[in-house]
Amino acid sequence: MFVALVMALLTTTASADANRRIHEPSEGPARFAPGFNHGKVAVDGGTLHYVRGGSGPAIVLLHGWPETWLMWRKVMPDLARNHTVIAFDLPGLGDSSVPTTGYDKVTTARRIHEAVRKLGFTRAALIGHDLGALVTYAYARDFPAEVARIAVIETPLAGFGLEELYGISWHFRFNMSPAPIPERIMDNDDVSTYLGMMYDFSYRPEAIEREPYFRAYADPARRTAGYGYYRAFPADAENNKANAARRLPMPVLAIGGQYSFGPGVADSFRQVADDVRTAVAPDAGHYVPEENPRFMSDCARLFLGPSTGTPQRPELAGCAP
């Protein structure tokens, strides 16, 4: 009886912990860690949802598809030790409002920039994953004086290697298909199957809590917003190539998963930036912040920390400030 009671308590506690991790409000105190709060800020085209915590210089976190700000929750407490951490939901995704247009990365970067300024910061470091990395590049290129450093994770840049991936996974062409093709093919019952396939691409799929993302993309309007980011890839590529001479002046940390892009991220960004450092996340595939959060937080804190910081492990060598 005692053993059964203990096991029941442990199971209840574990379930409660899981619920605290994955059921977050859209406003007010966050549940995933103390000291973080949800908020919304008005920008051109609607409102952006964000989660903010910590103090000090700002770090802006931009997620990829098919995820939301939640992908950063495992690393945000560590980053908040010495920084103000702001994780946004990209326009149209998560709890941000859905704009009717403007899914190209230049427009998206302008919206994020407007939000950062309205939150009181005139300078920030940026970390972007997947789609968020493409937005991070546009932000850093168009507002270089307001960007200290950037880190880009797990994507080559549109116009400089992204197109070579279209044949690797059919989801690229599917998401890029004109409306209403994917909208009519994909319905709510298909979300877990389709997005589940994307998470299965990872090296450690068990590290990804899928249910919050399934719920986030259950809304057809938000699925269309996700397609909008992909449909903008050709325009993004043209813009990036036309502006490639405006090379990024700030340090760029390019992170690839050991079992995914590896050093290929850095190879792409060297075509548009002068100071690119290569880091390969061990034991990780595409979703580095979730698959290996210890590496992600240690690497980011080193890269964004004092210039006297030194790598404590060999895999952090590329993260040196």
Handedness of CA 252, 103, 230, 206 (dihedral sign): positive
With 0-12 / 13-18 / 19 or more C-beta atoms within 10 angstroms meaning exposed / middle / buried, residue 85 is buried
If one counts every other C-beta atom within 10 angstroms of the C-beta of residue 271, the result is 16
Q: Which domains does the chain have, with CATH numbers?
A: 29-319 (3.40.50.1820)
* Sheet architecture: strand order including 36-43: 28-29, 36-43, 46-54, 84-88, 58-62, 124-129, 147-153, 252-257, 276-281
Question: What is the mean pLDDT for each group of 10 consecutive residues in the chain (321 residues)?
Answer: 32 37 87 98 98 98 98 98 98 98 98 98 98 99 98 98 95 98 97 97 96 97 98 98 98 98 98 98 98 98 96 97 95
d(C-alpha 34, C-alpha 42), whole Å: 25
If one counts every other C-beta atom within 10 angstroms of the C-beta of residue 121, the result is 16
What was the pLDDT predicted at 21?
Answer: 52
What was the pLDDT predicted at 108?
Answer: 98
What was the pLDDT predicted at 192?
Answer: 97
Task: Say which amino acid occupies 105.
Answer: K
The DSSP bridge partners found for residue 150 are: 126, 252
